[in-house]
Chains A and B, each alone.
Chain A
Amino acid sequence: MKLSRGQWAAWILIGVPLAVLALWAIVDNDKLFFTTLLNGLTLASLYFLVASGFTLVFGLMRNVNLAHGSLYLLGAYAGWVVGDQTGSWLLAVATGFVTAGVVGLLLQVLIFRWMQGQDLRQTLVTIGISIVLADVMLWIFGGEIYTFEPPAWIYGSIVLPLVEKYPTYRIAVFVMALAIGLVLWWFLARTRLGMMIRAGVDDRGMLAASGANVQLLFAITFAIGAGLAGFAGVVGGSALSISPGEDTRYLLASLVVVIVGGMGSVGGAAIGALLIGAAEQFGLAYAPTYGIVFTFLIMVLALAFRPRGLLGRPA
């Protein structure tokens, strides 16, 4: 990749102060720095899981699903109920994926299919759905905080170089996100269905004209995207906890991640998640009052220099 002079200037302008700050932080307190880095990586993994589904749905259907956070919370609650009944965490994860996926499928088939091409109306409908879902879940589960019990082999802590002790589960989250990312890449790049989805992202009309069943494709994509949100709900709920309000938190996170990374690009979601997750954790560790400002600053910079996001392409 060849960089123009302006891009060089931008990289130097942003990169050099960051490198200096990082060096200073390592010299000052290396344990804090690397723990924060790992925390940022964990958070980025969670954000990637949520945002990848969001960006997949948007890329193909131009549907800004503002109920994505509600699907996250729905998957988490459903997983908690099953996990509580059966005692199996893996079953809880599967339930989270399936429940959110089925609800997403129903939403696409029953509602969004009938207002294709009306972007704004679809978005308003998703807002309505998120209000209703959030209140129904509050009604059923109340305001309490729920926690999962992951199996013993990923619970506890392991000893790592530089940071000494670190929770195993957080490493597991990172590994899971990496695995999901690889599977998603394989699915999109190597399978016939993935090829159709990519073709649909680039030119929906042409794909339909070549004989692909676009409605089926939309339904599958929506189910996968929603399922990823539900999956992330259980995984994230185990890392932190589930409570009302988490839906908007993860909705906002996936919005920012996707805006920074580029709408419709799974790779962009990964980069955006890394940036935002790291910014949030470093902000929390080094400047607690203004943590959110860093996130926002990244968004502003990305918008100012690359309005379509880092890996975004013209629609």
Chain B
Amino acid sequence: MSTRRYLISKVLQALLTLVFVLAFNFFLFRGVGDPVTQLLRGHAGITRQSVEQLQRQLGLDLPLPQQFVHYVKETLEGHLGYSYFYNLPVSQVIAGRIWPTVLLIGLSTLASTALGIWIGIRQGWRRGSRYDQGMLGFTLFTYSMPEFWFGLLVIMAFAVGVGPFPALFPTGGYESTGAGYTGFAHVVDVVNHMMLPFFVLTLSYLGQYSLIMRSSLLETLGEDFIVTARAKGVRENRVLYGHAVPNALLPTMTVTILELGFVLSGVITIELIFNWPGLGLLTATAVDARDFPVLQGLFLLFSGSVIVANLVADLLYSYLDPRVRAG
């Protein structure tokens, strides 16, 4: 299949998946329990009149297929409903929280990936060494540990200063409230607040990336062309970085992008415990408040991001691998 056709088919597949997500979202809300009951749960003084009014308001008196079309239209226009809790359009609520999460996830993913790849290469090259085994143990440990618990430990150690640990960082938040920092001082302030959640997120997923890179490199090192390179008299360093790593890096990079789903799940609890005002904290508070429209909107956003990330991974791979590119 030619590259162009491959790319187009991948894009179409992604779109199809998005449509399914939309349908899923829609039918979930309508299907499991009556949305009106959801809304009015816990409220006193419900009359039949108010129920009917609400039903009309939500457009629930229309036939189902029509509701779905209406829903898709609304979504595409950016209307994601109205938040129960904040009394604002969901899109507005979400929009205000995007940047802190992008900042946190972006930087920590960059750090985890870069570190993970570097460590994974060293592990694969020196398989079985103490370094390798030590890192494998570390990875096993971080994999078995809930990120939020690790976060709590970090808070106690470096924000509160329990026992021998020094309190170096603020316990939470995005910036020092009321301090009114601007410009460079503001940036420094935000960075200061971001250090601990950044540290927790980076360390939590570092192991996955190093493991992926390690096995990719090990597999590549077993290939025949590595023998050829050595036979030609190429120096070991160059065999590793000139021949092995470029081949091992390809699948690693794409798998790395696919890890986004896990990082998104992790950021929800991390933002909660660090009171970081992003999408994750929004999710946690929406759960508490049973703010279903917001949860729906967030689910759409999260799923959409992962679908787009997968598409990017596919496109990137096809661009970088000459075998796929030439079609």
A is bound by B: no
Interface residues of A (CB under 8 A from B): none
Interface residues of B (CB under 8 A from A): none
